[in-house]
Each structure stands twice: as structure tokens, then as C-alpha cells.
A and B are shown apart, each in its own frame.
Chain A
Amino acid sequence: MASNGRESVDSKKFDENVKNEQTTIDSDDKEFSRQSSRYGQNVKNYETEWRDLLLLASESGLRKLKEMAVSGELKTSKFRSVCWNVLLGGLNNSPETWIEQRSQQRVKYHEIRRKHIIDTSKLQVEERDNPLSQSNGSFWNQHFRDTELRNLITQDVVRTNPTVEFYHRNNIKEIMIDILFCYGREFPEICYRQGMHEVLANLIFVLHSDHQNLSHIQDETEISLDRTLQNVLNPTFLEEDSYHLFAIIMQSLELFYRINDMTINSSGQLISLPTTNLKKPDIEVLHQLNNIKDKIFAKQDLHLHNHLLKLEISMGFFGIRWLRLLFGREFNLLDLLILWDAIFGVGENLIFTHYVLVAMLVHVRDKLIPSEYPECMSYLMRYPQDADVMLIIRHALFMKSPEKFPCPPNAFVYVATAAKKKKDKKTEDFTIVKLPSNRTSVAFNNTSNARINLGSTLSSIKHGEASKPNVGVNTSLPDDGIVDGYTLDDPQVLKMELQDNYNLMSVSRSKLMIYLSVLRKHIPGNQVDELHQALNGIEELCSLLKPKNEYLFSIPTPVDPAFEAADEDTLQGKATPVSVPKIGSSPKPKSPFSPKTKLNTTPTRGTVSFSVPGPSTSSSPKSVVTRRSFPMSPKKNKSDNPDPYEVPNNKVDKAILEKLKGMSQVELNVMRQSDLGYYDSSEYPQNDPVGERRNSQ
């Protein structure tokens, strides 16, 4: 475990305490490690880690332990099971009492075991019961039902992780069956349900690994290790300690297994209560999933939420399994354990699972959004194994408490633009897409459709700018009235949302213009009227995309950090709309098509590639930059309709400018692309596009 400077000071203090209280190991041990070889070093590291853990387990250290758990720092811990116990309350905050606690837990398990696992050979003599008796109190009847339940459990246990040898050792299988059986009998209203066996399997694995680590260290050294350590990780109590940890996790997890108006008979079969309506059993986990859907998912990514809604993919299809197994089938074991660290680290009755579920959905949104039902279902039922678990955790943390955790700066989804094949990964084929921040989704639900249609190119633009200002805004906000870190009516946020929205509209308009020009080019003038009507319709739509309240757009478009001082001056100095019409009518460029040179001047984050043929103003890239307002109206070059959406630059609010600075790059590229589109369309006047095109060539 990593420890910073302050901690090591603490740990020295703690060492002294340990010396006073437990005079067993310290001095001898240190001597030994100094003398011995690299093996000694291992031992020493191991012991240091243990002492750190003892500190972290204390009341004051718990916060740090939680931080480590959610940030993936327990990945290499050799005491993961102990950490989990501490995080979940299985061991309390005073390590000096752990030995006692452990022994109590173990005794308790033995009692449970004795109560439920009855050795028939011994009891036969005492019981005068008839094995054929059907009465409920009959011992034999109970015995037969026990056998049935055990068979049910065994059926699953023997099929646990077929590829891992560990789970197919007979002793491990027996331990698992006994634990699950005891749990089923101890909590008859939950009993045993499919899925529990995999949760338990992972717990046993972690405990076993910790035991292994301890025994390796013990092999390397002759001196005895800390008594508490030896006791807590005593391999002989694998079954007892596993049961304890399992039962603690089930306290929260059982909610996902619960079926309210059903009961389970003692053989493990579900039977409905007499009053139950057969068609609609009240499945608790479905309520939970609905809650997650409405309260988290819809807020975080309304677009995806609606997409799944449209396809009638209910959360139950995949969510029940995700939750019941604690995502056990969705990640490989190492990733899964990191995820569990975080889930247990957050605690609060495993509430973090709700956010992880949503983060996982958002993480594959690029695959889901363009897919139909079968593909979506396949992705959700077989979650991509290469998903970045840390990214999902960080994103989920941000969703849960945006005031504490920043939106992960790399919360991008890699969108395979070229190949749909999962294995066919070529980095250059990927577009980086920023995940939409929640407020964007909520505020722009009416634009979701536009986003679908414009595809990933647009979303990369749109999302790329979404979240950066958030951090700056939310820190200074008061506590009440905050939804996910923002006051909903914060004017700055509103302004930025407006700006967001406006940009989206502009981009949509510019892309529409591009399509329009392409269409016009290919449709000869003497074509059917209907086609031209359609084209005019598109043009009309473009004009609808103009924002109405122009005065609101006094927010400047951000300044490109790559600007030269002189350029910026020109930009700031000109209070009047920048002269788009002039440029529109500027001399035609010599080279017919060179968008590449333009793109090179400012590296794009998303590879926004437009395959629009046509000339561009390659003669002077800088001039493109200065003309970046919102020059998308095709009629503008007729100058009878001055664009009202030019940003009056003299109204620049410097504070906002500062905040928007960071995100300028993506946006500027957007504007350039739109410029490109604009010039295209201006070069092909609507009435005779083909002729114009020929002229230009």
C-alpha cells in the first residue's frame, strides 16, 4: 500500500504504540530484516503494509482507506480481504480487538453450522422419527428438503468458473456448498438463489489469496509475524471467515435477490404466497432498477435512456444479473476486484452499484446508440470485457458526488468510426468523444434527436466542450438547490448551456447546409419540382435552427489559445459582426480542395472528417479563424439579411472568457468546418449549382 510522508510519521508513532502493547515482534523482526537478503525485504514490505493497514483501519485512518479503495490503490494489497472487512464493518476500527472479534465470528459460524448441517448417522439413534413421515416437524422430512437444497446449490457450485482450477478442488467446493447452505437456512426468506454462488466464489478467492500471501511470507522467515495478522488470516478458518464476509455483503445485496410477495420453501423452490397475482410478482430488484433508471440514468444520459426506451430494452434484462452478481460476469477477475474495492469503499449499503451500472451503460453508449435491438441486447448481455474499469469507477464517483469528485478528464468513449468489429482496433480509426455531462443531457433533451442524426462527428464536437467549465462553477456554489453540483438556475450555467445549445444548432445548420449544397449540386435544375421543394424545405429548416433571442448570445465564442497576438487584436477590436459576406465573396481559391492544410493548423481532438468536395479558402488559414462567428446563413452573401447572430465582441465578459478558454479548440474546429460548409454553399448558388461548380473548376 502506498503511504505518503505524513503517514509514515504517523506509522512511527503507531509503531511505538504497538511496541508498548504487543511486545512480541518488533525489535527482533527489524534486526532480522536488516540482516537478511531480498527475502527479508519481502517480509519487511509485507509487515510495513500490514502496519499501514492497522493504521488505516483505525477510526482516523478509515477515510484514507476509503479513498484508496475508490481510487484503485488496493489493487496490489496483500490484505484485501481484511480491507474489505474493515470497509464493510466486518472488523471494527480497533485492530487490537480483532483477534477477539474473529474468534467470536468463528464460534458463531460453528453454531450456525451445527444447527443446520445435521449428521444423520449420529442422529438416527436419538430420533424416533419415521423416515416416511410427511409431517412438517419431521426430522426426516427436513432432511430430505435439506438434500434437495444442497443438490440445488451443488448444481451451481460445480459449474462455477469452469476454467479456474481453484474452484474445482473438492475442499473448496465443499466449503462453498456448506456456506451457501448455512446461509440459506439461516436466512430462510432469502434462502439460496442462483448468483450468490459467484459472489461467494470471488470472496473465497480473495481470502485464499491473502492466506497464500501470508504463508509465502512465513516460509521466507523464521521469526513469527504479528499475532493479529496470523490470527486474522489463519488459513484454517477459510470457511468461517468467508461465511462472515459473505453474510455481511449479503445484508445489502439481498435486496437484489428479494422477491416481496414470494416465499421460498425449504427446498429452495420459489412459491407464491396465496394472495399473489401470478402475472406480476413483486421483484424488489426491478424497483431498484427503475429507481436507478429514473433518478440516475435519465439524468446522466437522457439520450441513451430514451434510446433504450425506444427499443423497449428494460433495465431488468441485464440489470438484474449485473446487480445480483455485483457485476461478476461483466469484468475479468482483476478488474472486478478493483470495482468491488470501490463499491465496498463507498459503502452505504452498496449504493455505489447503482452509479456503476449507469456509468457502465454510458461507457458503451457509442455502441448502443447506433444499434438496433439485437446488437444492443448483445452488448448488454455480454458486456465488452476490455472496458476500462477505473474510468467507469471515476465516472460513477462523479455521478454520485460531483461536488467531491471531478468528472474524469479522460471520460471519453472511444468510438470505432470505421470498423464495427470489436477486435479490429486501429487507433487512427477512433474518434474521441467526450461523455455528455448530465446537465447537457437534461437541458437538451429536445435536441437529442438532432444528435442521433448527426452522428458521432457532431457528438464529438458537442461533448468535447461540455464539462470543462463545470469544475470551475460548482466549487463556489451553496449547498442547497444543487442538483449534482449545480444550482439549476445559476446564470452562468444557464448561459453556458445556452451557448452549448447554440453551438449545436449552428453545427447542425452548417452540416445541413453542406448536405444541401451537395444535393443541389447533384440535382439538375430541370428536375421534378418535388425535389426542389424538399431542398427548400431543408433550407427552411436551417433558418429555423437560428436561435431566437440573439441578445442572449453576448457570450463570446472562446478565444483560441493558439492565436497570435495580432489576430486576437483584430478579433477583439472589431465590435461589429466580422465580415463574413466579404469573405464569402472573396476571390476564389486556386486549389480546389485542401481541407487538410486547414486541419493541420489546429490539431483536432476528434477527427472531424467531412467528405465535402469543393474549394476552400486555403489561401489564408488565419483569415478563417477570425471569421469564426456564426456565419451559416446561405443568404448572407446577398447581404440583404445581415446575420443577427454575430457575437458583438465588445461585450466580452472576461470572466466567462477565461472559463471558456480551455474548450476553445474543439469548438474552433467546428467553426472552421462550418466555414467550409458555408463557403461551399455560397459558391454554389441555389439556382444553378452545377454551373457554378464547373466555373470554379
Chain B
Amino acid sequence: MSTEASSNYIFKVVLLGEGKVGKSSILLRFVHDQFNKNHLSTVQASFMNKKINFDNKRVNLNIWDTAGQEIFHALGPIYYRNSHGAILVYDISSEDSFDKIKVWIKELKKIVGNDIVCVIVGNKTDLIKDQKLSYDPEPHLSYAKSVGAMHFLTSAKLNENIDEAFLEISKSMMKIHDEKQLANASLNRTGSMRRQLRVEESTEAEEMTEAPTTSRCCGR
């Protein structure tokens, strides 16, 4: 009832993380399967749309790629408001960039709520080989676990694990969406039953239950 005919699901996903960790590259790899060594720095944000098929269901992803530098605090809410998922990217060669992720997670949970699906992505695994970088993912993995986020190690350059990360976040978002729908459906039923009894309250209940379902699931 709420989705477009062409897609079963429409989700808004936002890419967050410090500057130059590879957010735009990850997105470029995922959407167009390209890699550009000399990428322009993202100013403000950029937007891409990708439709994927999964389990015979069509998923339409509206993905916001944000600028690393000042998105925090100042402009962030514009982009992550109403997001269904967030991909938090850090550079495995920079511990600082991981620290930033912790702040982000806090911020997201505080402002968007617990329903947002968070995926933490450690990018640039190609550096391990190329620059003989030693990297121990263990602390990052345990942190991800502690906040209920999935964790992926990716390389946009070598196209490693990028699709997987997006697929997993889609799966989780679909699951949450389905659960919500189910909950809404039952709410609806109680709402309509109440309507027969008391008119004033029923309109209120209707508004409450209808709002999320008619909003085309990505809150637009």
C-alpha cells in the first residue's frame, strides 16, 4: 500500500565518516562499479540512487554521501534525518578516523533512534598488502558488536566486500521495515475496532498508525 509499484522497498541510507576515508569511493564502486584514484573531495554531500534485487524483492536505495569535514554537528541532521541505515566508514590506517565513528554512533542513536541500522566499514584493506600495513581488526569488531552494528572490512579500490556491506544493510533494513509493517497492521486493527466504540479517539489512532505506512517508507 505504501511503496511504489516498481520497488518493494525504498530506503534512505547515509554514508558518514571522517574526511578522505573513502566514502565517495565506496559509493562509486557500489553504484557504478568504478574506482577513481583522484576523487574530488565531496563538498556538502552527493546523492546516488541504486536499485537492487534481493530475494525476489526490489530494493531502492537512496544513498547520501556526506562530506567528511563539517557534516558533524552542523549539517549532519539534514542528511541523516529519517535515514533507515547508516554506513560509517573509517580508514583502517587511521585510528583517529575510527574514534570519529564512535561519536557518530552516539549521535545517530540519540537523534535518529535505535531503529537505524548501522554498519561500520573499515575501508582501504588494500593498504595491508600494498604498504605492508599491520592491522588488527579485533578491537573494532568488538566495538561494533557492543553497539549492535555489523562490521565489514572493504576495499573500494579492489572491490572487496562492498556489495556485501550494502546487501547486509539492506537485509537488516528490510527486516526492520517488515516488522514495523506488521506492528502497524495490528495497530491498525485495534484502531479500527476502537473506532466503532469511540469516535474521537479513533481519528487520533488512525493518524498515528497511518502516518508511517503512507510515508513511502523513506520518510519523504
Annotate A310-336 by CB proximity to B: 1 below 8 A, 0 otherwise: 011010110011001100010000000
With both chains docked as a complex, state the minimum distance between the C-beta of B36 and any C-beta of chain A, in angstroms.
8
- Whether B43 pairs with A272 at a CB distance below 8 angstroms is no
Listed A/B pairs (8) with beta-carbon separation below 8 Å: A162-B39, A259-B74, A316-B75, A321-B43, A372-B4, A374-B49, A374-B60, A375-B49
Of the listed stretches A153-161, A385-393, A455-463, name the one at the interface; the rest are far from the partner chain: A153-161
| Alpha-carbon separation in the docked complex, A382 to B40 (Å) | 14
Contact A281-B73, Cβ < 8 Å, known A198-B43, A320-B44, A374-B62: yes
With both chains docked as a complex, state the minimum distance between the C-beta of A536 and any C-beta of chain B, in angstroms.
29
CB neighbours (8 Å) of A381 from chain B are: 45-47
- Whether A317 pairs with B67 at a CB distance below 8 angstroms is no
- Whether A270 pairs with B44 at a CB distance below 8 angstroms is no
A195 contacts the other chain (Cβ, under 8 Å)? yes
Interface size class of B (residues with CB under 8 A): 20 to 34
A194 contacts the other chain (Cβ, under 8 Å)? yes
CB neighbours (8 Å) of B49 from chain A are: 374-375, 377-378
Extra inter-chain contacts (14) besides given A155-B19, A156-B41, A316-B78, CB under 8 Å = A155-B41, A159-B39, A198-B43, A270-B70, A279-B111, A281-B73, A283-B75, A311-B220, A320-B75, A321-B44, A372-B4, A377-B62, A378-B47, A378-B49
- Closest residue to B41 on the A side, CB-wise? A159
- Whether A194 pairs with B67 at a CB distance below 8 angstroms is yes
| Alpha-carbon separation in the docked complex, A163 to B73 (Å) | 32
| Alpha-carbon separation in the docked complex, A278 to B39 (Å) | 31
CB neighbours (8 Å) of B4 from chain A are: 372
With both chains docked as a complex, state the minimum distance between the C-beta of A285 and any C-beta of chain B, in angstroms.
9
CB neighbours (8 Å) of B69 from chain A are: 152, 156, 193-194
CB neighbours (8 Å) of B220 from chain A are: 311-312, 373
CB neighbours (8 Å) of B40 from chain A are: 159-162
Q: Which of B20, B43, B74, B78 contacts A324 (CB 8 A)?
A: B43
Q: Which of A163, A281, A314 has the most C-beta atoms of chain B within 10 angstroms of its own C-beta?
A: A281
- Whether A194 pairs with B77 at a CB distance below 8 angstroms is no
With both chains docked as a complex, state the minimum distance between the C-beta of B112 and any C-beta of chain A, in angstroms.
11
Q: Which of B38, B47, B60, B70 contacts A194 (CB 8 A)?
A: B70
A262 contacts the other chain (Cβ, under 8 Å)? yes
B72 contacts the other chain (Cβ, under 8 Å)? yes
CB neighbours (8 Å) of B41 from chain A are: 155-156, 159-160, 194
With both chains docked as a complex, state the minimum distance between the C-beta of A321 and any C-beta of chain B, in angstroms.
4
With both chains docked as a complex, state the minimum distance between the C-beta of A231 and any C-beta of chain B, in angstroms.
35
With both chains docked as a complex, state the minimum distance between the C-beta of B78 and any C-beta of chain A, in angstroms.
5
CB neighbours (8 Å) of A373 from chain B are: 62, 220
- Whether A272 pairs with B70 at a CB distance below 8 angstroms is no
Which residues of B in the span 37-79 have a Cβ within 8 Å of any Cβ on A? 38-41, 43-49, 60, 62, 67, 69-70, 72-75, 77-78
- Closest residue to A268 on the B side, CB-wise? B69
Annotate B72-99 by CB proximity to A: 1 below 8 A, 0 otherwise: 1111011000000000000000000000
Q: Which of A195, A281, A320, A377 contacts B47 (CB 8 A)?
A: A377
- Closest residue to A271 on the B side, CB-wise? B73
CB neighbours (8 Å) of B72 from chain A are: 270
| Alpha-carbon separation in the docked complex, A649 to B49 (Å) | 56
Closest CB pairs A-B (n = 7): A162-B38, A374-B49, A321-B44, A381-B47, A159-B41, A194-B69, A377-B47
Contact A193-B78, Cβ < 8 Å, known A162-B38, A279-B111, A381-B46: no
| Alpha-carbon separation in the docked complex, A283 to B71 (Å) | 12
| Alpha-carbon separation in the docked complex, A375 to B39 (Å) | 23
- Whether B73 pairs with A270 at a CB distance below 8 angstroms is yes
CB neighbours (8 Å) of A161 from chain B are: 40
Cross-chain pair count, CB within 8 angstroms = 85
CB neighbours (8 Å) of A195 from chain B are: 43-44
Which residues of A in the span 254-293 have a Cβ within 8 Å of any Cβ on B? 259, 262, 270-272, 278-281, 283
With both chains docked as a complex, state the minimum distance between the C-beta of B93 and any C-beta of chain A, in angstroms.
14
| Alpha-carbon separation in the docked complex, A162 to B41 (Å) | 10
Contact A194-B43, Cβ < 8 Å, known A272-B73, A373-B62, A374-B49: yes
CB neighbours (8 Å) of B111 from chain A are: 279
CB neighbours (8 Å) of B70 from chain A are: 193-194, 270
CB neighbours (8 Å) of B78 from chain A are: 314, 316-317
Which residues of A in the span 139-194 have a Cβ within 8 Å of any Cβ on B? 152, 155-156, 159-163, 193-194
Contact A262-B73, Cβ < 8 Å, known A155-B20, A377-B62: yes
| Alpha-carbon separation in the docked complex, A156 to B40 (Å) | 8
With both chains docked as a complex, state the minimum distance between the C-beta of B68 and any C-beta of chain A, in angstroms.
8
With both chains docked as a complex, state the minimum distance between the C-beta of B144 and any C-beta of chain A, in angstroms.
24
- Closest residue to A312 on the B side, CB-wise? B220
CB neighbours (8 Å) of B39 from chain A are: 159, 162
- Closest residue to A285 on the B side, CB-wise? B75
CB neighbours (8 Å) of B46 from chain A are: 381-382
With both chains docked as a complex, state the minimum distance between the C-beta of A162 and any C-beta of chain B, in angstroms.
3
With both chains docked as a complex, state the minimum distance between the C-beta of A325 and any C-beta of chain B, in angstroms.
6
- Closest residue to B76 on the A side, CB-wise? A281
- Closest residue to B110 on the A side, CB-wise? A278
Q: Which of B4, B48, B70 has the most C-beta atoms of chain A within 10 angstroms of its own C-beta?
A: B70
- Whether A329 pairs with B74 at a CB distance below 8 angstroms is no
Which residues of A in the span 191-240 have a Cβ within 8 Å of any Cβ on B? 193-195, 198
With both chains docked as a complex, state the minimum distance between the C-beta of B34 and any C-beta of chain A, in angstroms.
14
Contact A324-B44, Cβ < 8 Å, known A159-B38, A159-B39, A193-B70: yes
CB neighbours (8 Å) of A262 from chain B are: 73-74
Q: Which of B38, B43, B220 has the most C-beta atoms of chain A within 10 angstroms of its own C-beta?
A: B43
CB neighbours (8 Å) of B77 from chain A are: 279-280
Annotate A379-409 by CB proximity to B: 1 below 8 A, 0 otherwise: 0011000000000000000000000000000
| Alpha-carbon separation in the docked complex, A259 to B67 (Å) | 16
CB neighbours (8 Å) of A321 from chain B are: 43-45
| Alpha-carbon separation in the docked complex, A163 to B20 (Å) | 18
- Closest residue to A314 on the B side, CB-wise? B78
- Closest residue to B62 on the A side, CB-wise? A374
| Alpha-carbon separation in the docked complex, A272 to B77 (Å) | 14
CB neighbours (8 Å) of B75 from chain A are: 281, 283, 316, 320
- Whether B47 pairs with A317 at a CB distance below 8 angstroms is yes
- Whether A281 pairs with B74 at a CB distance below 8 angstroms is yes
Which residues of A in the span 66-80 have a Cβ within 8 Å of any Cβ on B? none
Which residues of A in the span 648-671 have a Cβ within 8 Å of any Cβ on B? none
Which residues of A in the span 106-159 have a Cβ within 8 Å of any Cβ on B? 152, 155-156, 159
CB neighbours (8 Å) of A194 from chain B are: 19, 41, 43-44, 67, 69-70
| Alpha-carbon separation in the docked complex, A324 to B42 (Å) | 13
| Alpha-carbon separation in the docked complex, A152 to B62 (Å) | 29
| Alpha-carbon separation in the docked complex, A382 to B65 (Å) | 13
Which residues of A in the span 320-375 have a Cβ within 8 Å of any Cβ on B? 320-321, 324-325, 329, 372-375
CB neighbours (8 Å) of B48 from chain A are: 378
| Alpha-carbon separation in the docked complex, A372 to B220 (Å) | 11
| Alpha-carbon separation in the docked complex, A216 to B130 (Å) | 45
Annotate B175-203 by CB proximity to A: 1 below 8 A, 0 otherwise: 00000000000000000000000000000
CB neighbours (8 Å) of A312 from chain B are: 220
CB neighbours (8 Å) of B38 from chain A are: 159, 162-163
Annotate B128-140 by CB proximity to A: 1 below 8 A, 0 otherwise: 0000000000000
CB neighbours (8 Å) of A198 from chain B are: 43
| Alpha-carbon separation in the docked complex, A152 to B20 (Å) | 10
CB neighbours (8 Å) of A271 from chain B are: 73
Q: Which of A156, A270, A374, A377 contacts B74 (CB 8 A)?
A: A270
CB neighbours (8 Å) of B74 from chain A are: 259, 262, 270, 281, 283
